[in-house]
Amino acid sequence: MRTAEIKRTTAETDISLFLNLDGTGKGNISTGCGFLDHCLTLFAKHSGFDLTVTCKGDVEVDYHHSAEDIGICLGEALLQAAGNMKGICRYGNMLLPMDEALILAAVDVSGRGYLGYDLEIPTEKVGNFDTELTEEFFIAFTRCARVTLHLKQLSGKNSHHIIEGAFKAFARAMKAAMAIDEKNKDEIPSTKGVLV
């Protein structure tokens, strides 16, 4: 089983995260922020990964440190759970509608962290979640997972729909990228022989 458990404690957050890439989409999420819980639960369901996250953060300040550090932990967990990357499909993409919002996600599990972020979220908050933290979460994830991720908004007016669509599209793209290619299950999907 491709699993990882990450524990991260700083002066700002105390996080415990478990990831199973071969799960069934079960999410058990408690971050202290309802909308972030919602997005991570959606990620688990649509990726098919089992994800457990407990975060105690300095939410009296805001949710910045929690969102960023959970992104770090999820990225580290993905990298650890994937091991030597043998057999993965490597690439995944999804064009996902969420009512009026239409979001494109494309991922390359390349060993190189990069985020192409093109979401125009019209409001500053969804609930008590600062919408600018969406980008901070994905920056942290891509750096630590060493994954290239492009998120592009093709349409959308509702902030909730845009962010939810982004997390669902991200999840579906990651599901495709981390799936095992049975014909090449003993091969690393790179002519270099490594994904670095």
Contact 141, 71 (CB under 8 A): yes
pLDDT at residue 196 in the model:
61
pLDDT at residue 186 in the model:
72
3-class SS string, 105-140: EEEECCCCCEEEEECCCCCCEECCEECCHHHHHHHH
Query: Who contacts 181 (Cβ-Cβ below 8 Å, separation ≥6)?
Result: 87, 88, 89, 189
Say what percent of the chain tops pLDDT 90. Answer: 87
pLDDT at residue 69 in the model:
98
pLDDT at residue 68 in the model:
97
Go through the domains of the chain in sequence order and give each one's CATH number: 3-184 (3.30.230.40)
Contact 17, 6 (CB under 8 A): yes
Task: Tell me the C-alpha distance between 1 and 87, whole Å.
Answer: 13
What are the tokens at 164? 């939810």
pLDDT at residue 191 in the model:
57
pTM (predicted TM-score): 0.95
pLDDT at residue 183 in the model:
87
DSSP-based three-state secondary structure for 146: coil
Binned average pLDDT, 10 residues per bin, the chain of 196 residues: 96 98 98 97 98 96 95 97 92 98 97 96 96 98 98 98 98 98 78 62
